[in-house]
Chain A
Amino acid sequence: MAIKDITLGQYYPSESLIHRLDPRTKIIGTLLFMVSIFLVKSFTGFALSSALLLAVILLSKIPFGYIARGLKPVLFIIILTFTMNLLMTPGEVIAKFWIISVTREGLTRSVLLGIRLVLLIFSSSILTLATKPMSLTDGLDSLLSPLRKIGFPAHEITMMMTIAIRFIPTLMDETDKIMKAQTARGADFESGSLMQRARAMIPLLIPLFVSAFRIAADLAMAMEARCYRGGDGRTRMNPMRFSKSDTAAFIILGVYFALVIFLRSRGL
């Protein structure tokens, strides 16, 4: 199934320094890194960003191939934007075949854009590979909680995200099970016209919905039985704490960000 190709949201278990960082540090760090990628306009700048990212990848002990897998679903978009920029940018022509011409500006621009997209995907992949989905939503909860003062239901939204993320694998397993059970009864999900295939989904979707509702009802009852009533005054089993490595991470990020802005102001 195609869903399995997406690395986003797939935690890679490991005991690395990056895994142990506070989720809030990782979320803020990833956001800052993404902003910095849009500030960078030169190869020197990208060399700096890539170096930082490479250091993080090495520290996280996640195999490089695992991170690169996240590129697969967006590879087409990357190639498309690369080609578009390569061929459509006006400027000094350096190569020409028939009516297609490549300009120096186009080449620079498309390569920079390619690097930018790859860095974006890699950095977000590392965040989700090195952070458990649950700590990710915990981190978001804590980061968004100041917004509660203006009436934004931060806790409710992150709780919904937590539940949604928690039940993705459960529902995937359920889908797989029902699909196999109906296949064993002769259902065919793979051949036939579009209409036939849509109809073939009924024996899969109805039991899946029934299951989803059953799971939701059970969960709601279990939460009520534990006196859940929202975010106010709720404590955590594993409270989040900033450690020395988080401070170090923020210092490195600060230095990196200052360098990026310095390079940009110098037009490099």
Chain B
Amino acid sequence: MRVEVKELDHVYNPGLAYETKALDKVSFTLGRGELVCLIGHTGSGKTTLVQHICGLLKPTSGQVLADGVDVNEKSPESRAVRKKIGLVFQYPEYQLFEETVFKDVCFGPKNMGLSEEECAKKADEALRLTGLDPEEIGGKSPFALSGGQKRRVAIAGILAMDPELLILDEPAAGLDPQGKRTILECVRSIKNERNICILLISHNMEDVAEMAERVLVMDKGRLVLDGPPGEVFAERKALRDMGLSAPPAARFMELVAAAGGPVSTSVLTLDDAAKEIIRVYGKK
């Protein structure tokens, strides 16, 4: 699926004392099989932007085209294309409601009008893809699971709808390190197995540096940077002015360089940092 966001503007509460411009002429394109990370300070318009991509919010001006169809129309084509875009909200575990995990995951496919067997098949696949065993927890109440498991069930609920574009809004927020790692591994395996486009909102620069093939940076409703992680994180000063930081590995290498070490500062991940240190200091 190819998504084009064109000159998107959004104003909250127009005409009231609380009027705020949340999006300001945002334009970009998402292609097939990309893993894109969207970063930005709190209130920079990330969540507003992704809600537009799914057609949940109407733009004040501009449009979102998915495979050439405007997602904001009432036509059947638009509705069909919206079904192919899956959005996992922040803290998605709060949307679970069914008696069993299995039924909850089936909610999406059922709304798409699939038969019982097809729903069951999709739910089974989706749960496995998120690293959960359908036989073990499928019959449990979703409210009886741990935080990380609940979140994976919620993600499975979206995956069961077979999205061609999967948007995850801070999927690892508020989880312990173990839960966080499982969620990110789960995102990677979705990417590998389904080869769909994934748009990931994250606040953790370490995760972004490790996962992203492309990084979008938002600030005050505008899309300010768009490019591969290496390029985006090279803009240290611009990022700092927006209240964002470079990944920890990059900051560490900067400190080493500042202390006189002849290391490259264009390193982003811990693995590369280790390699760079070995390269410079290891063999003597």
Interface residues of A, Cβ cutoff 8 Å to B: 12-13, 174, 177-178, 180-188, 202-203, 206-207, 210-211
**Residues 60-98 of chain B, each 1 if its beta carbon lies under 8 Å from chain A, else 0:** 000000000000000000000001001101001011110
Q: Is the CB of A12 within 8 A of B17?
A: yes
Given contacts A186-B83, A210-B94, contact A180 B56 (CB under 8 A): yes
Interface residues of B, Cβ cutoff 8 Å to A: 17, 51, 54, 56, 83, 86-87, 89, 92, 94-97, 107-108, 111-112, 143, 157-158, 161
Q: Is the CB of B97 within 8 A of A181?
A: no
Q: Is the CB of B161 within 8 A of A186?
A: yes
Return the contact of A185 from the options B17, B51, B158 (Cβ within 8 A): B158
| Chain B residue contacts of A202, Cβ below 8 A | 97
Q: Is the CB of B94 within 8 A of A203?
A: no
Q: Which 10 pairs, one residue from A and one from B, show the smallest C-beta to C-beta distance? A: A186-B111, A206-B97, A181-B95, A185-B108, A184-B87, A181-B89, A203-B97, A180-B56, A207-B97, A207-B95
A sample of 28 cross-chain residue pairs with beta-carbon separation below 8 angstroms, ordered by A number, consists of A13-B17, A178-B95, A180-B51, A180-B89, A181-B87, A181-B89, A182-B95, A183-B56, A184-B56, A185-B107, A185-B108, A185-B111, A185-B158, A185-B161, A186-B107, A186-B108, A186-B111, A186-B161, A187-B111, A188-B111, A202-B97, A203-B95, A203-B107, A207-B95, A207-B96, A207-B97, A210-B97, A211-B94
Roughly how many angstroms separate A180 CA and B108 CA in the complex, as a whole number?
Answer: 13
Q: How far is the CB of B96 from chain A (nearest CB, A)?
A: 7
Q: Is the CB of B97 within 8 A of A185?
A: no
| Chain B residue contacts of A181, Cβ below 8 A | 87, 89, 92, 94-95
| Chain A residue contacts of B87, Cβ below 8 A | 181, 184
Roughly how many angstroms separate A13 CA and B96 CA in the complex, as a whole number?
Answer: 37
Roughly how many angstroms separate A12 CA and B108 CA in the complex, as a whole number?
Answer: 41
